[in-house]
Structure formats: C-alpha cells, structure tokens
Structure 1
Amino acid sequence: MRTVGLIVEYNPFHNGHSYHLQQSLKITGAEAVVAVMSGNFLQRGEPALVDKWTRTRMALAGGCDLVIELPVAYATQAAEWFAYGAVSLLEATGVVDAFCFGTESGLLSPLLRAAELASDEPEAFKRLLKQRLETGMAYPQAYSGAIAAYTAEQGDADASSFPFDQPNHTLGLHYLIAHRRLRGRMEPFTIAREKAEYNQTTITDIRIASATAIRKRLFEGLSLTDILPFVPASTYELLSDCVEKRLAPIGWDHYMHPLLHGMLTSSAEQLGQLHELSEGLEHRLLQSLPNLETVSFESLLAQLKTKRYTRTKLQRALLSVLLGHAKSDFTADKLRSGAGYLRILGFTDKGRQLLKQMKKTATMPVLLSAARPPERFRYLDLDTAASAAYLLGVPGANAVDLFRDFRDMPVIV
C-alpha cells in the first residue's frame, strides 16, 4: 500500500494536525501514514506537555498507522540534525513512498531549488553564512539569509526572494537537504499551514489553534474545556485523563530542582563538556545563579537571555545540563551515521501490515522495546535515560514508570 511519512511532535495533537494528516493522504494518494515523532523532549529544548506514550495514542486515534520515535539525540537539535534524523528514519523503513510537511506558503519548488544548491554547502555559501554569524546574527536567521544570498548569486531570482527565514520554510528546506544527502527515494510534498502560524500564541479561528496557543491556555490554568474546540475528542479525553492523574501538563518548571542541582554541582569546565554549551555560555550559566529571584525557569531565562543567545538556544543548552548530554556524543560524524534503529511506539492494523513488510525492507533493526535489543545502541541509551528523567518531573508518575521503556510494548489501536 502507498504510504506517506510525517515528521511530528504532536504536543498535543490538534485539529491543525488532523488537517495536515488528511491533506497529506489526499495529495500523495497514500493509504497509510507513518509518523516519526519526538519523544519526551522536543526540538525547541522543552519537555513535552504529556509523555510520548499518550501522544502516540493521540497520533493513532488521529489517523496515523505507525509511530516511530525520533531519538532524543535528534529530537532536541536545531533544524539541520532534527531533519536529518527524522528523514533518515523514514527512509530506513523501506515502506514510505512519500513524505509531506507543512510550510507557510505551500510552495515546494523554491525549497527544492535551494536544497539542490546548498546541500553540498559550497565554499561560497559557507562564506556568506560566516559573514552573517560574525555580525552576531542568530544561526537560523544567518542560515536563511545566506541561503537567499547564495541563490541570488547563482541566478535564481525566485528562490532568492523566497522567505526562507519563516520557521516552517527553514525546517522544510532542511528536510529536503537531508533527503538529498541521504539520496532518498521518497517523493517530497508540502502543504500550506492553515489558520494558525507556527508558535502563534493567540487564537484567531474557531477550530484551528497552534499547539503553542493550546499549551499556553493549559499552563495559564484555564479549564480543559477551553481547548475543546481546537482538538479532536480523542485528544481531549486523553488529556483529561492525564490531568486528573497529575500526568499533565508538564513544563520546564517541573525540572528546576534537578536542573539547578546539575548547575550548582558542576564547574565551568565540566559544563563546557556538554552539548550546546560553548563560547562562554557555561560561565554565563554559573554567573546567573546568584541573581535568581525565584526558582522558576522564566526567572533563569531572564538572567541568561541576550541578543547572542536565543530562547531556543538557551533551552537546548539547559536541557543538555538536565540530561547530561556530552559533546562527544553529538559530533557531526556520529550524528551523520544515524540512530541505527527504528523504535516503534505504536501501530494500528495497517501499521501491523507495514511492520510485517519492514522485516524485509528496513535497513535498521526494528525495536518493539528497549529491553534486550539485538545490539547496543548509544542513542537508545540516551532515549531511555531521557524518558526516566522526564518521568522524574511528572507528579503522578511512580518508580515503575521510570522504566517504561524497558517494560512497555508498543501501543496498539
């Protein structure tokens, strides 16, 4: 059966995601959906609103047929490696014929042309990127500006005026760059985002709201019924159950004590060995501690934030402190070699058929549990540790939950 791949976080699954999924099936002519989904920590360096198992149930109830976990080593990265990890997993299944992502414009051709020009990172592009970084520009903006300038130099007037700096355009470009570098066989598609922009905090439609706006309402203490118009009934029921059991909503403030402990018991030299901590950020972390007014994440960010360090950069750095992610595990060579496994979080009856097919087509081992894998995977160890760390911050979790990765089999719907 023809299958489309989606790269998602579903934090939580909402009506906009449902629209994207249905449109992806329509424009690709697919009959089944494989989703690569981030686990308990997400790309912007944040804990998920609710655990990955619950979000898997949301995904399956919303129309996905097979959910594969994007390892934390890729799920918490900037666009380049986030995209590379996700696309490589979809390719590794051997059963995904196309992949579809949302963009602000819904236009694929400018992104394809830019990906073709930039995938090998020629020296002229590197020069343009370096020039922008040297002005103090944040990396995402510098990269987008360099892409636009480089495509202009290459005579592609249409691509050079394209808004690469919009968040979903940036991510989509990196999906296509990863696809080219992997010599992928999947066919790429994109659809335009509807009604709500990425990371939009306000709600301007009666049915569609961004995941950011939905989470904002929950963290502000509003009733769950306040988000009912914007999520499927299945998402609402799952969230209601988690809230009742004190398993949601989860945010950075749930991890402040272990985070501060990690900072207070480390030297600048030790912090400097962690992923995402460089260029003096380790010193700034330690210097910020005496100035904290409250034990809250926003208070800590207020001490740390500068023009040089974006909120997302700081969140990823602090997540490395919380999870103990060493630079040595995140070198370009190691990330380029891929996760090495396909961790299955859940499936439907169609997903079961895909799994059966993957026994013949997958280029990586397929894992239904983290217990006794056929070989040792360094990134799988990071996944299980991250899951345990996440559950330590969940008020309703217990000691048994810390080892769910080793005990639980995939969710079946």
Structure 2
Amino acid sequence: MDTVLIVGGGPAGLFCGLQAAGVGRRIVVLEKKNACGRKLLITGTGQCNLTHGGAVSEFLPHYGDHGTFLRPALMNFNNLDLIRFFADHGVRTITEPQGKVFPESRKATEVLDALLNCCRERGVEVRCNEPVQEVRREQDGFLVRTEASTYHADSLVIATGGASYPATGSTGDGYRIAGSLGHTIAPVAPALAAVMVDGYPFADLSGISFAGVTISLFRDTKRVRQHTGDLLLTHHGLSGPGILDLSRHILPGDELKVSFLPDMNRDGVAGDLNARIAANGTRLVRTVLAEYQLPERLVRRLVEMAGIPADMTAAHLAKEGRKHLITLLTECPFVVKNLEGFEAAMVTRGGVDLSEVNAKTMESRLVPHLFFAGEVLDIDGDTGGYNLQAAFSTGALAAKKIAAGTRR
C-alpha cells in the first residue's frame, strides 16, 4: 500500500487528501496546530467566500501574471464542481450579485466540518499537533520527521499555505521544506494587503468608501498598472477590494493616483468643472464640487488641500486653484510607505517557483512524487473567492495524479 503524506491541514491539504483517498493508498494529513483549517475559519470574516461565479475562463486574469499556470487545475476542477461537491456534502451555497459564492449559512465552520467529515468517511488520517521538522528524499520515497513520529511516504504533498496570518499556522514552513528539497522560492511578501501612506491626509476620514474608482500605480514616474475597484479610506492609508487586488504589484516608494470621478478623464473634468464654475459664480467652491456626489467631508478636505479658503466663491477661484482641484479629483496622489504585514495580509505573494512545477499535475519537475497545492505556490488571487478556488483546484489536480500513479 502506498503512503501519501500531506503537510498542512488547510483547504488545499484536506481536499487533496479526500480526493486522493482510495484502495491501495494510505493518506495522512499532518497539521502543526491543534486543529485543522484555522485560516479557513477566518476567511470572509468567518463567512467563507468559497469561490466566484461565472465561467472558469474568466478566473485566469484574477491571478495576476500567473493565471495561465492555473488553467489545467481550474479546467480539471472548476467553480461549479466545487459548488456541487459541497452541495453533495450538505453545504448549500448562495451567489451574490457581484459573483461571490458563500455557504448559505454564512458559516465557515460548516465548510470545514464538511471537509473533515469527508476525510473521515474516506479513511484519511488527520494528525494534529505534528509540525514537520525535517524532510529527506530517499531512493524509494521520503522520510518525514515530526516532533511525535517519523514517517515514510511514497508521495509527499506540501500544502502548508503561505506566510500570512501566522497565528493560524501559516508561517512559511512549506518554503523551508521545498527549499530543502532543491526548489527555488520566489521572494515572498504580503498580498491582498492594505496600503500605508506617507503623509496621509485623510486619517480623520476613515470609513469613507467609494465604488469603482480608478487607481493607477506609478513607479519612477512611469505608470506600471491601472485597476478599477472599490476603495476604502482607513486611519493610516488605503484599503478596499480595489487596493487589495492591486497590492500584489505595489512596493514601498511607489505612488498611487486615485480618480474619484472614474467616469470622466482629466480633460472631461476640467471642462465640466469650468462650466459649473461659470454658471455658479456666487456659490461656494465646495458647494459646486458637492454636485459630483462626493462625500461632503472629502470635498472639504480636497478644497483645503488645494489651498482654497472654505468661504471662497466660484467666481474668485483662480486658474491655479482650478488645476489643483482637477488633479485632486482625477489623480489624487498617495506615496506608499509600506503594505500591511503578514499578520494582516490575506494572502502571500511569492512562493514555490512555478517553472519547477508541472501545471498539469502539480508535481515537482525536480523531485518525483513531490507535489504542491494551494498558497505555498507562487500564486495569489484577487479578493472574491479566487484564492480558495485555487487551493481546492490545485489540491484536486495533485490528488488526480497521485491516484493515477498508485502501485497496485
């Protein structure tokens, strides 16, 4: 009988285990914490955004530059397959208008219970409180040593997650193990993380949000990315899905420029604002700006940042003041101090180099019978269920190869 060891009891590891279970295979999941799925339980503020609606082909752009690597995994086990799996195991789901898919109960515990119950039903051994200390490649498999035991495995799956939310057990162990077996680790950093801003001017406006703003990323004065999404002002900087999704590309020292009027370009805003000012000369500048349906507190702050007195009327607004206002409305600049750290970031950017992993099987190109699943890979998705779908899909693909290769 073949022994398959899976390091990590998160969604990728558990799903790989239950999918690989079958005659001729002993499946053992090793989890370092005293319970599995700790990070799963806090996803979506405990509501567990499982996946996203829509065609699976639409998923690929939501993984940055590495989406094409996931194509075989997503085609093998897609979002509809995932929804069907959980429905078959008693977890009904609902899809929000924006496409996010949640358990109908809005409880991540229900999702984790379904995974663990299925593991038990299929004979998967789940062993908690067993952090892996050492992995060695042997001629006929792998020697894995934990604090409690030593195991021999015919196949090994690394599904340890990344380095975000370390309190849940994701502390980068998989990178250490993969590196010890000869794999290259792409530099890791927080992703899906809020941005801290140098000289941030909106600390007292925390909580104000905007739908569908345009966010441009500049590095060395050159625009390198542009993204449209929702924005949230925080006490220290910028957050919201638009910022979180862009964060995988953001570095300290970069400049973000936000258009609070995304349906109009700079020239359009200039022409429109000039027309409004000409038609409303006796009204206050901030009153004219309020017609753009922007929050009043933001309008007051932008007027202040433009150096315009609060009691100035439109007729008295000089050309330079108009230009400054137009810039703040369409290209409001923010210099990035840093991103939130791993303790707050939702996922990890970087990980096991994808060029060393077979995208069609999730097996290592360097070490036979070594597999990777989930966030330990150099893949991070947008908010909206894309990261959990990647975890389930890569786990399922690794399991498919493992099951096909079992010696009878």
Q: Same fold (TM over 0.5)?
A: no
TM-score (structure 1 length as normaliser):
0.23
Query: Higher strand fraction: Structure 1 or Structure 2?
Result: 2
- Give the TM-score of the pair, scaled to structure 2: 0.23
Instruction: Return the structure number with greater helix share.
Output: 1
